[in-house]
Amino acid sequence: MTHHRPDDHTGGLAAVLAHPDDESFGCAGALARAHDAGRVVRLLVATRGEAGQPEGEDDPSFADLREDELRCAASKIGFTEVTVLEGYPDGGVADMPFAELVDEIALWLGDRRPDAVITFGTHGITGHPDHVVVGSATRWAVERLAETGIAPHAIYVMAPVFGPGTKRYDLSPEEGAASHRIDITEVAGRKIAALACHASQPDAAQEAAEVQALLDRDGVLYEGYTRVRPAVPNPHPKFDTRLV
Ligand SMILES: [Zn+2]
């Protein structure tokens, strides 16, 4: 699912996530804004999302459907490249050898040299074990790259404190308070459209409706992030407003 050769460009912003749809829930707005600002925007996803089938169904082509939905969302957001790792089962990433996952992420990042990386914080927003382990492995991968002097300048974790689902989850401290608040109002329609691409996932449609309602109510929409590497103190009195 690679759209361009990785050596076409380096730099920019890369998201390392677990499932098709994580990008639309989590960081579509900031990524769309980075794309519009002329940055290279990439996505690495650990699984094909095959566990997201309706209860009781077992359709072997379901993973293809979810990849198609991801491709749809990627076109709304403006990804330069989307890569799906091979061999990691949806729901079972934490059962795979952790060091190999770190190796694969480090290799992918090392080839592309993004300026900054977005991933999951320590509770993975929803607590999903795939989210938690991908976030952890990504941070280990960046530390490994730092040893050879090619680490991204920053790691941000998604801090969904401005979205509609904030109260739903047991967020870790780094996810429950944002160091960066990104105004995504001008690309809100594309975040909603990206969520709508994931038509097999009822919660994505619900999120799209709730994001739209929030936008209608406030007239403005934000995504929150916390920079965890290098660590920064809490912002005061103004938020930073860009990631790269
Ligand atoms: Zn997920």
Q: How far is the CA of 95 from the centre of ligand 1 (A)?
A: 16
Q: Is 92 a domain residue?
A: yes
Structural contact between residues 11 and 115, judged by C-beta atoms closer than 8 angstroms: yes
Supply the pLDDT for residue 237: 59
Q: How far is the CA of 108 from the centre of ligand 1 (A)?
A: 20
* Phi, psi angle pair for 44, to nearest 5°: -115, 125
Q: 35 in a domain, yes or no? A: yes
Cα 131 to averaged position of ligand 1 atoms, centre (Å): 6
Distances (CA, A) of 234 to 152, 169, 172: 21, 21, 15
Order of all β-strands in the sheet with 13-17:
81-84, 41-45, 13-17, 116-119, 154-158, 222-229, 180-183
Spatial separation of the C-alpha atoms in residues 102 and 39, rounded to whole Å: 25
- At 222 the pLDDT is 95
What is the CA(204)–ligand 1 centre distance, in A?
Answer: 11
* Residue 239 placed within a domain: no
Distance (Å) from CA 156 to ligand 1 centroid: 17
Cα 128 to averaged position of ligand 1 atoms, centre (Å): 7
Exposed, middle or buried: residue 178 (CB in 10 Å: 0-12, 13-18, 19+)? buried
Look at residue 238 and tell me if it is in a domain: no
The answer to whether residue 236 is domain-embedded is: no
Q: For residue 194, how far is its CA from the centre of ligand 1 (angstroms)?
A: 15
What CATH code is carried by the domain that includes residue 76?
3.40.50.10320
What's the CA-to-centroid distance between 37 and ligand 1, angstroms? 27
CA angle 100, 23, 208 (to 5 degrees): 150
Q: Ligand 1 centroid vs 22 CA: distance in angstroms?
A: 5
The secondary structure of residue 240, as a DSSP letter, is: B
State the pLDDT at residue 8: 59
| Ligand 1 center to 77 CA (angstroms) | 17
91 Cα–ligand 1 center, Å: 9
Domain that holds residue 55: 6-229
Q: Provide the 3-class DSSP secondary structure of residue 223.
A: strand
Residue 234 lies in a domain: no
Question: Which pLDDT score, from 0 to 100, does residue 240 have?
Answer: 65
CA of 106 to the centre of ligand 1 (A): 21
- CA distances to 35, 191, 208, 239 from 188, rounded to whole Å, are 14, 5, 10, 19
- pTM over the 0.75 mark: yes
137 assigned to some structural domain = yes
242 assigned to some structural domain: no
Comparing CA positions, the residue from 199, 110, 176 lying closest to residue 148 is 110
What residues sit around ligand 1, an ion, with C-beta below 5 angstroms?
18-19, 22
Q: How many domains does the chain divide into?
A: 1
* pLDDT averages per 10-residue partition of the chain, 244 residues: 56 97 98 96 97 81 96 97 97 97 98 97 97 98 96 96 84 93 96 98 95 96 95 69 78
What spacing in Å lies between the alpha carbon of 29 and ligand 1's midpoint? 17
CB 115 within 8 A of CB 243: no
pLDDT of residue 168: 81
